Structure 1
Amino acid sequence: MTMNQVVVIEAETSADRVASAGAVAGAAESAGYRRLACRGVPGTHAPAYAGLGDLLEPVLAGGGLPVGRRRALEAALGGDAGADRLLVGLAARSLLEARGERLVLVAEDCQWLDRPTLDVLCFVARRLADLPVALIATVHPEGQPPALRSLPAERIRPAAGPANARPAGRRLALLAEAGRDMPLSEVMTAAGHLGIATEEWAALDHRRLEGAAVVADGDGAERRRVHLALSQVASDPGIAARHRSAASSGRTESEAADLERAGRRALTGGAQAAAAVAFRRAAAASPAAADRIRRLALAAGAARAAGLPERSRALLGEAMPLAADSRTIADLATNQLLLDLTAGLPGRGIGEFEALAERLDGDDRIRVLWGAAVHCRARHLPPHQCRRIEARLRGTASSSPLRAIALAMLAPAHGAAQHRERLPWLVAEAAGDPLALLSLGIAAESVQDLATAHTAWALSRDLFRRVGSDADECQSLRGLAALRIACGELAAGLADAEQALRIAERVGATQVMGIAAGTVARAQVWLGRGPDARNTLERHAALWHDDPIAISAAEMRWASGLLALTERRYADAWTELSRVRRHRARAAWSIADLTEAAVHCGEHEAAARIVEATAADTTASGHLAMLVERSRALLCGDDDGAEAHFERALAEGEDAGTPLELARTRLLHGRWLRRRKRAEDARDQLTEARQVLADARARPWAAEATAELRAAGEVVRPAKDARASLSPQEARIATLAARGLTNKEIAELLVVSPRTIGASLYRIFPKLGVSKRAQLREVLSAG
């Protein structure tokens, strides 16, 4: 067989997709390949993994899978959307490999396949190199999911087929194609309006369902008649507007307005990709240039939010050179900035932001300057550039919350206190703007207002999820994850970070992928899962670059340094943590880890210089002040001075809201006291540290505190049973899940719904300090 192992056919019409797929698959079958097929169906909400079930049904009898993979596949084919997608993908590949025969997988109309099936197909497609298996996927160019778009494949874009059908057959074919997104009853009603007999339609529909219909393009007048008939019977206003537009031979504002309303309804329903298509069509139907550009801007924003960056960039490139309206310019600039940030691209320079802001007035100018502040913060630009944007913000009168948020992001250390007083009040003012809330979380974190940061990120996550903005939701999740880890919620933080990583990979948000991967690995280190952390870092090693946005590499190096610290590889820890300094905020948060590594590998002087440089940024933060004072205590050669620094560190940390770092401070203080023969004082500090660390499942440091307590002469009781924190029902659910039962199987045993089981596990995981079902067996058996 001469074709590539993965072929993606991108065609506008169903006929072209069917014909091309048939040609390629036919060539494969002639070469001795067996065809396995599945198809996406428009206008339906298929259960999770429905397409995968159709595809694999002919080969399921083979069996022979490892237990974990078999159970995951059974759960998936039973419609369990929560089935471990990695295990399902591995199971599918193993099943294909076990057949020992040449197979061609044909996935038609992937734009309508359920998402779990598509994810598994893409997972398998990347791992076909050593198998006699090929994949053919067909998709509409405008509906191509990001996972399929990023797949390495041979891409075929066939030309439209010839109009060789008889006139009645051509009209039938055009109607079948144009009405694919409408209920069959409505399409048949339109057929009656067009004079098509029910018998003719039924015959064509049968061929269509079998995937063998040949659809011709037809002349323009015939196509317009078909679209007009469909527009008259469509119950969905958005679909009706689209067909009215297609039926028109020219541009009219009424049609464009109908399409724009359809796009806004799609936004309300969380269908960002559909909204992008509606807005783009509205732009094409707009007779006035200003309306066309405004609608292109709406389409670009929806495409970016849906995780379609290439389409969004194309729309921005079309609209930006022609935009003259102040609001449209600000919207275009915002979307361009967000695309650059999520992709890790350099973006505009500060001078370009200033020049653009000069063209605008009022809140539109503030929005561009806010974007410049986000740009400064993300790239940690030099202070003099930040001051230029700060001066322009202060010189522009506005009541927009974006102004206060931008000023807080640019605030120097000595101005943090005044912003911290103002930021909590901005939550209500920014409540309707999820992007404002997202940036408010960043600003609040930068001035160490952790409570406001948590609120803003959680609210923005919920809003982005509600409107289907995946590209933005992963940003909120990664910020929330880092904050939860800092606040001691390790399992919840890990779950958020893993979800952010999955979404970022799906939508191609490279920059967020690096940050989320580093956060996942750091949570895994805290939870004592060193091998998992190492695997996470190795899998995403390509993202360890410092330019143009440093936070991604800083997060990953912090995690790598923390892992080395727990494994007593102190020289490696010092090397990795020293390189976190490229990102000033993360360098400050990791300063105590750096100092601990430095003490063990003899880098006292270098560490002392870094600590004192960091101290200038901690004047208004109890958390950072605690880390600095703890570092000074470790570096101090004088006992009286060291004890004073420890005491100040503990005092600063009491109300900082970061209990795990406070517990580590107590641990280090207790060790210092024990080594100075002050066992009773040491036991007080170590006992409290051990309790906090054990409750949070911070295993490496809890074990260290236990060892120090024993060395101080304390008899340490075994840890309490992990089940003690669970209700009887929760304990039973956790035990059954640990045995490998699916949600559906547990629900049947306990006579409840699978959704109830899922909700119970959502509550159980944080109580046990885990984030996956696979970890339940270890935790419960340890208890």
Structure 2
Amino acid sequence: MAGGRAHGHAAGLPAVGEPSALGPEPSIVGREAEVRRLARVTGLGADVPSGDALLGADAPHGGVRLAADEVGGGVLLVIGEPGVGKSTLLEDAARRAAHAGHRVLRATGRESERDLAFAGLHQLLRPVLDEADELPERQRLALLGAFGFAEASGEPLLTGLAVLTLLSRLADRTPVVLVVDDAQWIDAASAGVLSFVAWRLDDDPVALLVAVRNGEPLPGFDDAFPAIRLEPLDDAFPAITLTPLDDAASRRLLDLRAPELPAGIRDRVLAEAAGNPLALLELAKAAHSRGLEPHDHGPLPVGERLAAGYAAQVAELPEVCRRTLLLLAAADVADPPDAVLALLPDPDDKTWLTLEQASLVGRAGRQVRFRHPLVRSAVYQSAPFDARAQAHRALADVLGDEPDRRAWHLAAATPYPDAEVSAALERTADRARRRGGYAAAAQALARAAELSPVPGDGTRLLVDAAGLAVLTGRLAWVEELAERIRARTDDPNALAAATLRVGRLTALTRRHNAVFAELIGIAGDPAATHPATALDALAAAAVLRFYSGEASHRQEIDRILPRLPDDPMRDWVRMVADPFGGGRGLVPRLPSMIAAARNHPERLTALAVAAWILDEIALAVRTFDEAVRSWRTRGPIPDGLAGVAALAYFEYGRWAQAREVCADIGALAAGKLDHAAACVLATDAMVLAAQGDTVEARALAERALRLVDPLESRSVAVHARRATAAAAAAEGDYESAYEQYRTLFDRGGDPVHYHASYPALPELAAAAARTGRHAEAAEIVERSARALAEGGSARLHALVERSRALLAAPERAERAFLAALEEPALEQRPFEHAQTRLEYAEWLRRRRRIAESRPHLAAAHDVFARLDARPWAERARAELRAAGTDVAVPDPHGLAELSPQQRQIVRLAARGLTNREIGERLFLSPRTVGSHLYRVFPKLGVTTRAQLRDVVDAGGVPRE
């Protein structure tokens, strides 16, 4: 079992401390506002005394009452330095919630468990795992598999859905409070599931309280909790940042807990503690126990010196006490299994009394915990290595039924290479990988590499570790592993593999040109690297060619490609890097290549991208559908190419789905993979601009441009500027629109990006026609037509004809319009096809061919209404009225007011799916689905689920 066994309370000394010889009862001083904030999140009223009131632990609810109209829910971070009182606030909130009848589940991060996949999650859910029997079968198996109780599914998001459903079921009976202390040490797999759940707590009375040390990284949490970086991000969860107590609160705390301190010592304690509650109490305790006088000189222990003080205290204990403490510190569990308890003194042994009287540990039943992490750290670090190794070997000997823990204990006891321990860690990594614990697997492989006695095996393990680390999205970690590979080998294939792994993640940042050069260096020397590695490197380089749009990149790829062996990957490179040249002739091979890639989401995604680039939109969307389904069940695999799925769905008329993909990828990329985040921001902006949400579209486009260098990420820059231009056009500002569209082509009229610029030609032409810039725009259109004459797709030829029609003299315009409309490829993109029909109908009506215009206007209007393209729908309605046809404002049921997620819920509910089935499809809790439906029914004017079918059939929400 990889998870932890402990269900224990937070191990931290408080802003106020726990009972000790210095004071009778714990009290919270100077944190009244924070207590009220936590009370609101946990569903308790906020009637908390303020001012000088002290909240005693024995007061009913501590003065906090359960409000009749408040059930709680949401996420709150408690951030601060060690000893500032995070654990005490969480403990206080948990106690109040439990007193009010809420279900409280707790977990505490531990350094020794941060590499054990799902250890923290198991610790949190262990008291309620019996409830898993009531989950849907796939969810039940995913959850139990994550903990090693069933065959691992390897589907982290399904595990997250299982946790969400489990918590929702618990919350049906009573509000639930999740308390996660020392979250900086929670393993990444657990953190990933908790972050998944955190974003979906809107409608469930489930509160998640997370305490984290200021400045500590939270792998797996950092996407969900950007506030940890202490940056003012709009989408961050609420946070409390605990600052040191002010002078008045510090003095009140000492009055309560150390009233006997002499005035001179008291002032020194106040000065040296600097408002840190732990330091206040411990310094006061040390001064009291040592009988310090005001005239005594020398600093009081604080910070590292405080840890040294603990070590000195431990050194004075009997040998049996020191051995017991070291075993506990090495085991680092608050609820030891029977095997570990067998190594410790009997419960009634006087050793425990000695340790408790020394205020080093506390016991409650089977729970044994250190009073503060500094105690554990001091015990462990002050012991000589031989003693620590002996403790770890003893623990490994009794943990035979927990192979992952046993492997790590053996590793901690092994200072030199050891083949058996290395192999045990490799097996641990394999188990973690199969459960989706990529970070834990990478950590285990990296340590296995250190302990491998065979240099070649160690290098292989590090390369594998770097490959798994890529899946976490943590670029700095991948770079660190690559440096370790370079330091231990000169094997060119291993070095190339290391560079390639770094390059795959760096490609999703803004350093495209530098990474391209490195990848080309690998691919260009196949004699020094394995041919497969060279092909992988060239494929990654082709991705960068697409991102950057740099012409010289294609020349480099063309130079190297003939040297590499014939392979489907080589064909893919040509499709992506040169879609209007050699890549165009490979279109007939795409279906067979896709068929051969079934059940491989990464390859399917890549081939879907190729299909999209080659304008085979229907094939691209079908392939993306299959890839995204697999991708979602595989967990958060950072893949910038998956962002193209959003563009494909947008072009194919599935705008809600496009926005959902943007949201999914944006959550994975935020804060660390700037290019990937910018891709989806720009795409989302294009959708919003088309729907008339011009303010938000412009804001997203500006954010996208701030994240990248436009010269190294031309694809992002083009899409962002298209969105900005479309927003301006929607507002009637065609001058600004033309200026933005014009930036998509250079001074000579060539496209800024070899693929992304061309689809904007009709938009450029339309803005030019309204601003009198016919000649300049016509030159750009004709220059593009010449460039696309040989290798351009049928869709691009149709867009060129549409552009010509918008700029042409009357006698030539109709022929160009008809040429565009007769192209079947344009019909597969409903928005572009509807735009062309509207523009042709406008041309017809202005020539008084009103009867001919009406069918085109009506068809275009229906598409715009279905897509919720409000500016275009209004324009079509105005034309219909001018043509003598009165059209009622569409969407009488309020579908335009629904979010993309709500529309998806409506569509699935109309098909007869239950709330639980919808939740499983969309990774939401059944309660959240029900809450959305409850809110949308009045907007849609319906009272039963059966009526939703009529809403969908009316054209507001496409069924598929």
TM range (shorter): 0.7 to 0.9
Distance 1:18 1:36, change over 3 A: farther
Counterparts of residues 523-538 of structure 1 (less than 5 Å): 523-538=687-702
* Superposition TM-score, scaled by structure 1 size: 0.76
Q: Give how far 1:573 is off.
A: 1.0
Distance 1:21 1:591 in 2: 64
Write the letter of the residue equivalent to 1:755: R
* 1:446 counterpart (586, 590, 613): 613
Letter in 1 for 2:46: A
Structure 1: give runs of 5+ residues left out of the alignment. Answer: 1-16, 39-51, 64-69, 86-104, 123-133, 739-745, 747-751, 764-770
Tell me the SS of whatever aligns to 1:262. helix
Which sections of structure 2, spanning at least 5 residues, go unmatched? 1-9, 20-26, 49-68, 77-101, 104-159, 165-178, 200-209, 232-240, 244-275, 277-302, 353-360, 746-751, 925-931, 943-950
Structure 1 position 479 matched with structure 2 position 674: no
1:114, distance to aligned residue in structure 2 (A): 5.6
- Deviation of 1:552 after TM superposition, in Å, equals 2.1
Distance 1:225 1:419 in 2: 64
| Counterpart position of 1:714 | 885
Quick check: 1:111–1:145 contact (8 Å CA) kept in 2?
no
Query: 1:45: which partner in 2?
Result: none
Residue number in structure 1 paired with 2:759: 589
C-alpha distance in structure 1 between counterparts of 2:665 and 2:862, whole Å: 30
CA distance in 2, matches of 1:19, 1:761: 38
Which of 571, 575, 585 pairs up with 2:739?
575
Deviation of 1:325 after TM superposition, in Å, equals 4.4
User: Matched residue of 2:507: which SS?
Assistant: helix
The answer as to whether partners of 1:504 and 1:512 remain within 8 angstroms in 2 is yes
Give the superposition deviation at 1:569: 0.9
SS, match of residue 585 in structure 1: coil
> Does residue 503 of the first structure (1) align with residue 503 of the second (2)?
no
In structure 2, the residue matched to 1:61 is 46
Structure 1 pair 772/460, CA: closer, same or farther in 2 (3 Å)? farther
Higher helix share: 1
| Native 8 Å contact 2:45 2:70 kept in 1 | no
Give CA deviations for 1:272-309 in whole Å, capped at 9, x if unaligned: 11112112111221222222222222222222321222
Pick from 916, 931, 950 the counterpart of residue 755 of structure 1. Answer: 916
* Rounded Cα–Cα distance in structure 1 between residues aligned with 2:212 and 2:418: 40
Question: Which of 171, 176, 190 is 2:340 aligned to?
Answer: 190
Q: In the alignment, which of 565, 568, 582 is matched to residue 415 of structure 1?
A: 582
CA–CA separation in structure 1 for the residues paired with 2:458 and 2:390: 26
- Whether contact under 8 Å (2:682, 2:720) holds in the other structure is yes
CA distance 1:238–1:464, shift in 2 (3 Å): farther
Equivalent residue for 2:427, pick from 261, 276, 285: 261
Cα 1:720–1:553 change in 2 (3 A) is closer
Say which of 157, 179, 186 aligns to 2:331: 179
| Residue in structure 1 matched with residue 256 of structure 2 by the alignment | none
* Number of equivalences: 685
Give me the whole-angstrom Cα distance separating, in 1, the residues matched to 2:474 and 2:779. 46
Question: Mapping of 1:234-633 within 5 angstroms?
Answer: 234-320=400-486, 322-325=488-491, 328-346=494-512, 347-350=514-517, 352-382=521-551, 385-399=553-567, 401-431=568-598, 433-472=600-639, 475-505=640-670, 508-538=672-702, 540=704, 542-543=706-707, 545-581=709-745, 582-615=752-785, 616-617=787-788, 619-633=791-805
Partner of 1:4: none
2:229 to 132, 146, 151: 151
- Describe how 1:220-239 pairs up with structure 2 within 5 A: 220-232=385-397, 233-239=399-405
Q: Name the structure, 1 or 2, with higher relative contact order (CA <8 Å, separation 6+).
A: 2
Distance 2:491 2:698 in 1: 50
Which stretch shifts more, 685-694 or 547-556? 547-556
Which amino acid in 1 is paired with 2:835? R
- Please say if 1:676 is aligned against 2:847: yes
Distance 1:512 1:325, change over 3 A: same
Partners of 2:496 and 2:628 lie apart in 1 by 23
Mark the structure with the bigger radius of gyration. 2
The amino acid of 1:395's aligned partner reads R
Partners of 2:450 and 2:458 within 8 A in 1:
yes
- Residue pair 1:478, 1:515 contacting (<8 A) in 2 also: yes
1:575-610 residue CA offsets vs partner (Å, 9 max, x unmatched): 222223432322112221122111111221221122
CA distance in 1, matches of 2:895, 2:477: 52
Q: Distance in 1 between matches of 2:651 and 2:577?
A: 23
Cα 1:265/1:119, change in 2 over 3 Å: closer
The equivalent residue for 1:697 is 868
User: Matches of 1:36 and 1:656 in 2, distance apart?
Assistant: 58
Are 2:574 and 2:582, in contact at CA under 8 Å, matched by a contact in 1?
A: no
Shifted more, 492-501 versus 141-150: the winner is 141-150
Percent identity over paired residues = 24
2:42 and 2:72 in contact (8 A); partners too: no
Per the alignment, residue 182 of structure 2 pairs with: 108
Q: Which moved more, 1:576-585 or 1:673-682?
A: 576-585
Q: Is the 8 A contact 2:470 2:478 kept in 1?
A: yes
Mapped to 1, the partners of 2:599 and 2:710 lie a distance apart of: 34
Residue 483 of structure 1, CA deviation: 0.7
> How many angstroms does 1:415 deviate by?
3.2
Inter-partner Cα distance in structure 2 for 1:286 and 1:354: 30
Q: Does 1:661 align with 2:822?
A: no
Alpha-carbon deviations, 1:477-520, whole Å to 9, x = none?
42211110100011111121122222211x61111111111111
RMSD of aligned alpha carbons: 4.6
CA change 1:144–1:622 in 2 (3 A) is closer
AA of the residue aligned to 1:61: A
Q: 1:151 to 1:608 in 2, by over 3 A?
A: same
TM-superposed CA distance for 1:636, in Å, is 0.5
User: In the aligned structure 2, how far is the partner of 1:578 from the partner of 1:21?
Assistant: 61
Q: Tell whether the 8 Å contact from 2:621 to 2:645 is kept in structure 1 after alignment.
A: yes
